[in-house]
Chain A
Amino acid sequence: MLSCGGGSGGCSKDMAVELGDEPHVLAVDDNLIDRKLVERLLKNSSCKVTTAENALRALDYLGLGNDTLEGTVSEVNMIITDYCMPGMTGYELLKKIKESSVLKEVPVVIMSSENIPTRISQCLEEGAKMFMLKPLKQSDVKQLTWHLMKCRN
């Protein structure tokens, strides 16, 4: 279930990040404990991390929201999001990202505590790079970020 975006789309376009720079990951999760955990896991894998507590905040941060201020759009190299969130789900967030001409190349990883095959295939079909089961382990995240770095170079 680990793919690295082959084909004509290729790997994520380098969003003006120099080789050797830490990848910037946006982590989206409505659970406070899980946000703290994913942040530490990513930092331990040498990533710069921004967290968002729901999909709408994530969209604002990415520049796709209704409340995005001019000139405050940040560049991310990967988005990792929980599936089950109130309001907009991780799946809906994934769709919005893939619909955006600016962001569609950014790899999106979906996390869920529930192992539902139809949910997994739905996400992958919509373009998620990977689906990860919670609770996340350090080895999962290390593997993920290794692939991310490999794709960038």
Chain B
Amino acid sequence: MDLVQLQRQFVDYKTSLYHEGFLDEQFTQLQELQDENNPDFVVEVVSLFFEDSERLLNELARALEQQNIDYKRIDAHVHQLKGSSSSIGAQRVQKVCIAFRNYCEEQNVEGCLKCLQQVRHEYSLVKTKLESLFQLEQQILTAGGSFPM
């Protein structure tokens, strides 16, 4: 695939991610913070997000397995996940977190378990998509292209 085709594919893919609600305006903000002095900023922050989210998801699963569920602790974890997903623009993950917190407040274990499943799903989707986006970006750079296009 030549550079122009790659670039078109990249733009189309990125547009679709916004269109489908996987990413929001905050992701654009992140990209605007990247420059020649900080060329890997977006990848760095997103990688931190991946690590942190995986840790939180594991903590959540563990907390929901307990005999006596500590809803305060669960809420604290979800609050963290909501915050970081919001900060990188992972809109669909953030939305599930909002519902998750409501179930925590109601101390509704069924609701919480359902949300955990949903948030895991949305997280996994956005992770795959962002990785694909970064891969396309890398291909463009390798083919001699540059950013912003």
Interface residues of A (CB under 8 A from B): 30-34, 36-37, 40-41, 44, 84, 86, 113, 134-135, 137-138
Contacts and interface: CB of A to CB of B under 8 A. Distances in A.
B26 A135 contact: yes
B52 interface: yes
Contacts of A30: 80
A86 B76 contact: yes
B48 A32 contact: yes
B85 to A, nearest CB: 9
Majority-rule SS of B interface residues: helix
A134 B86 CA distance: 8
Interface of B: 26, 29-30, 32-33, 38, 41, 44-45, 48-49, 52, 76, 79-80, 82-84, 86-89
A34 B29 contact: no
B45 A135 contact: no
Given A84-B79, A135-B86, A33 B26 contact: no
Most chain B CB within a 10 A radius of its CB, from A30, A32, A44: A32
A36 B45 contact: yes
B130 to A, nearest CB: 14
Given A31-B83, A34-B83, A135-B29, A40 B38 contact: yes
B87 A138 contact: no
A126 B59 CA distance: 36
B103 to A, nearest CB: 18
13 contacts: A30-B80, A31-B87, A32-B52, A33-B49, A33-B52, A34-B84, A36-B44, A41-B33, A113-B82, A113-B83, A134-B83, A137-B29, A138-B33
Contacts of A31: 80, 83-84, 87
